[in-house]
Structure 1
Amino acid sequence: MLLLWLTTFSLLIWAVESDRAAQEISKGNVNLAKGQYNEALQHYHEAVEADSTNVQALFRRGTTQLFLGRPSLAIRDFDAVLRLKPDMSTARTQRGNVLFKQGKLEEAKLDFKKALESENSNKEAWEGLEKVMIWDSSLYRIRAKCSQQRGDIHSALMDLRKVAKLDTDHADDVLYEMSRLHYESGSVEQALRSIRDCLKYNPDHKLGYPFYKKLRKIGKIRDAMIAKSENEEWNECVKKAGEILKSDVSEAIRIDINRFSCKCNRENGDLEQAIQDCSKVINDNPNDVDILCERAEAHILNDDLDSALNDFTEASNIDSGNSAARKGIERVKSLKENAGKRDYYRILGVSRSANKRTITKAYRKLAQKWHPDLFTDEKEKQKAQKKFIDIAAAKEVLTDDEKRSKFDNGIDPLDTSNQQGGAHHHGFQGFRGFQGFNDGQYQFFFRQ
């Protein structure tokens, strides 16, 4: 009988306290809606005091603590709520938000995930989880590794850059890894920048400094090579490129250097090597329009017009708006149309890449060989005269920049059919000083 009475009395007390807690919660809600946070908090305190197991009282008190800028006290209330009701997703989401702001990303992520397990449609939990992911360096690292395995080095580097900012304790290792990736992809400048940043974080990095010394050496030679190319010192450019290619460098850096040596060798007259260098770049990237055009130029100088046309056409197919490819096609077609006409390079026996000094030297040698005064037989003399005229014409065209440019583009500047209005043209100006033929005696004066 006594036990029954005690049980009934306890139930009455609980009912009274629960009713009191509900009243305090209701009052607190009114204050909260008005923005009266301190007053609301006091009512929620009373509610919890009346019933310490009231989930709503604890949750609302925790929420109000957040409004008042007291996250630690708020978490204490959310902890109590979740001990009483572990599947309350709103409480988990709120606690997750607080933990996220405190930088406790792993704990926040766990709360958001559990909130979604209880309520998959919880939009705030989804948004919270997304925010955590943005700041989770381990996820960026995983994605960087996946991108690297797919060959997407650019995306891998972007993710590693974020890892370095988020995980400052290991930034030196991440920056070293970035430097290696830049190096493997052929970017010496970017590799140097990353390794310098690595050494700023940790000057004693075990792998960083030796790698920095290697990159600095390659970078200096590469800079010198570029400078020689810009100054049109082609032979020196080729030498600098050779220094790098002979050293232990990544395959991508070899391709990068081949891009320069391709042009430098062409300009230096080593056409076969230029074509080989260009081909190495194209084998690595068949869509490299610039190098296709560069190789085409080497083919022209090597008198291989068909191969030149193929390269220009391929470049145009890849990039229909590329003016170099379009003009190249027109030029090669013009050269092929004029293939049966005088070839001044062949007349002097020089390559299309020959400089003025080489051209003048060849001219003098041939002019002496075919000097008409050396021949007594009339037929031989006439043949020598024709040869000599062609030799002088070749020298005139190939030592004049404007005329040579026209000839290289398929136009013979000494061909009267190319003159406007069909006006008569003497053909060439190289015989000033040539005194003609008098009584079988010939005198020639050669310009030095």
Structure 2
Amino acid sequence: MVSKDILQVIKSLAVITLSLDFFFDVVIATSEDASKHLEMGKQLLAAGNMVEALSHFDIAVEKDPSNYLLYFRRATVYLALGKSKSALPDLDKSIQLRPGFVAALTQRGNVYLKQGNLEAAARDFEEIHQRDPSNQEAMNYLHQIEPLADEIEHAKMMFHNRDYQGAIILLSKAIDLCPWDPDLREIRAECYIAQGDLGKAVSDIRPTTKLRNDNTKGFLKLSHLLYDMGDADESLSQVKECLKLDPDHKECFPFYKKVKKLAKQLKEAQELSNGEHYDDCVKKAKKIMETEPKAFHFVHTAKSHICHCLAKGGHGNDALKACNEVLDMDPENVNAMCDKAEAHIANEDYEAAVKEYQQAMNIDQESRRAKEGIERAQKLLKNSQKRDYYKILGVKRNAKKKTIMKAYRKLAAKWHPDKHQGDDKEHAERMFRDIAAAKEVLTDPEMREKYDHGEDPLDPEQQQGGHAHPFFHGFNPFGHGGGNQGFNFKFHFN
């Protein structure tokens, strides 16, 4: 007879056996499942599909959290995606599960070195060297790290002593080995700023906004640099990034309001200029200077708009003054020279316009605007020695059709031949012909455009194969020999 105690022990052993069998079945199944996802991840990684590969490594690690190789594989994908901060915990776990794992130590040492953590990097490469003295890769890294810390300290000392170029040379060497160290980039950026090279400073500050968590300071610095370079739109974009991290940032918020206002004004001024609303363009450009009266690039842009729009608007003297201000800031500004030439044309000083365009051509022989401008100014100069239709009617070059017609009616009535007798009649007829010609050219958009570009559409010498005005073919509306000889002239104001 078997005792009750023995039966109980047998039952307990049976339960334990069943439990162990179930446990091993689960472990084997889990391990097989993890291996399946590991293989899938490796295939996707080889095909360059890193994001999908990462998702499979995530599942594999979840299925088999004690497998050091899975953590290492996932770390390599993180590194390939540029996520070194996410890779470090996986490399740590891989080394913890398998101490002395050379591949993981090498990768971690590399990450530490790129981050500028020289002590941690040296420890990993030293451990590899101790375990395998023949490992040449580890030896090379140790030889690079050993003098690097001293060179970085020396660079910092040079920076404080204002030897910016010397500091840049040493920092550049250090950044080649430690590209993820934001401190080194920030110091080099300050050196570039001191040298006035804001573009290179931007190139150093930009990556620090990602290398540091919640780097509001970096975004604000980057925004200020871009502002100083005259790029309002990009400056606005960067200060917005600062506000995403801290909507109430005490420095970013007021700067954001200023840049937003300025960027809008700059855009509106350009649109008004493009749309030929020249007087409004001038007003908007003056608003820009109220918003930002000091920053060189924005003051330069505002004054350039004023110069251009005054010249195009026919305000000759004011345009000359504004364009000279631009050229004082930027003596070789070809566009300002061309605008100044336009101002001379508005003042009917065609010789000065030719000289100004020539000066622009001397600086930029490929400038299409200067080439076309000098040809036009030369034609206008030639025409000015003949007949000036604007002067004949006494209107400005930018006069509207309504103003031209008003001037024409007044002068036509004054010089109508029927109102003059004797010696005055012949003079009146000549005046009347000129007034009629001026009205015809200046009220016809196509003819006026030709005339404004230096070509007289009523001058037969300038018309090749075209039809000249009947006045130039002997047509005399007042009869033969200047007298009316019974001619009854009917005057029409069109």
Per the TM superposition, whether the score is higher than 0.5 is yes
Contact 1:278–1:292 (8 Å) recurs in 2:
yes
Instruction: State yes or no: 1:293 paired with 2:338.
Output: yes
2:282 to 238, 252, 270: 238
- Which runs of structure 2 are paired with 1:3-22 in the superposition (5 Å)? none
Residue aligning to 1:65: 101
Distance 2:336 2:172 in 1: 48
Amino acid of the residue matched to residue 78 of structure 1? Answer: E
Residue pair 1:266, 1:353 contacting (<8 A) in 2 also: no
Distance 1:441 1:352 in 2: 35
Question: In the alignment, what sits opposite 2:206?
Answer: 161
User: Which of 435-444 and 187-196 deviates more?
Assistant: 435-444
**Equivalent position amino acid for 1:373 in 2:** D
Counterpart in 1 of 2:320? 275
Give the structure 1 partner of residue 349 of structure 2. Answer: 304
CA contact (8 A) 1:176 1:195 kept: yes
Alignment partner of 2:365: what SS?
coil
How far residue 373 of structure 1 moved from its aligned partner, in angstroms, is 3.0
Question: Match of 1:393?
Answer: 437
Q: Compared with structure 1, are the counterparts of its residues 69 and 196 closer, same or farther at alpha carbon in structure 2 (3 Å cutoff)?
A: same
1:237-386 → structure 2 map (5 Å cutoff) = 237-249=281-293, 250-376=295-421, 378-386=422-430
1:132 equivalent among 153, 173, 177: 177
Question: Distance in 1 between the 2:352 and 2:251 partners?
Answer: 47
Cα displacement (A) at 1:212:
1.2
Alignment size in residue pairs: 358
Alpha-carbon distance in structure 2 between the residues aligned to 1:177 and 1:148:
11
| Counterpart position of 1:446 | 493
Contact 1:282 1:291 in 2 (8 A): yes
Residues 1:375 and 1:77: Cα distance change in structure 2 (over 3 Å)? closer
Matched residue, 1:220: 264
Unpaired segments ≥5 residues, structure 2: 1-97, 110-119, 153-170
Q: Residues 75 and 95 of structure 1 are in contact (CA less than 8 Å); yes or no, is this contact kept in structure 2?
A: no
Q: Which amino acid aligns with 1:263?
A: H
Paired AA for residue 351 in structure 1: K
Residues 439, 179 of structure 1: alpha-carbon distance in 2 compared, 3 angstrom cutoff: same
Q: Tell me the distance in 2 between the aligned counterparts of 1:409 and 1:266.
A: 15
**Structure 2 residue aligned with 1:78, among 126, 137, 144?**
126
SS of residue paired to 1:420? coil
In 1, the alpha carbon distance for the partners of 2:451 and 2:384 equals 11
> Could you state the TM-score of these two structures normalised by the residue count of structure 1?
0.68
- How high is the TM-score relative to the length of structure 2? 0.63
Aligned 8 A contact 2:220 2:238 in 1 = yes
> Aligned residue for 2:228?
184
Q: Out of 256-265 and 244-253, give the one that drifted further.
A: 244-253
- Residue pair 2:269, 2:281 contacting (<8 A) in 1 also: yes
CA contact (8 A) 1:300 1:308 kept: yes
The one-letter code sitting in structure 2 at the alignment partner of 1:386 is: R
Residue 208 of structure 1 deviates from its aligned partner by: 1.0
How far apart are residue 387 of structure 1 and its match? 0.9
Secondary structure of the equivalent of 2:470?
A: coil
Residue 419 of structure 1: how far off its partner (Å) = 3.2
**Deviation of the 1:396 alpha carbon:** 1.0
Question: Residues 102-141 of structure 1: matches in 2 within 5 Å?
Answer: 112-113=148-149, 129=174, 131-141=176-186
Which digits, 9 at most, give the CA deviation of each residue in 1:49-83, with x for residues without a partner? xxxxxxxxxxxxx996313658699947926989x
Aligned-partner Cα distance in 2 for 1:269–1:167:
54
- Identical-pair percentage: 37
SS in structure 2 of the partner of residue 294 of structure 1? helix
Give the Cα–Cα distance (whole angstroms) in 2 for the partners of residues 142 and 388 of structure 1.
78
2:116 alignment partner in structure 1 = none
Counterpart residue number, 2:245: 201
CA RMSD, 1 decimal: 3.9
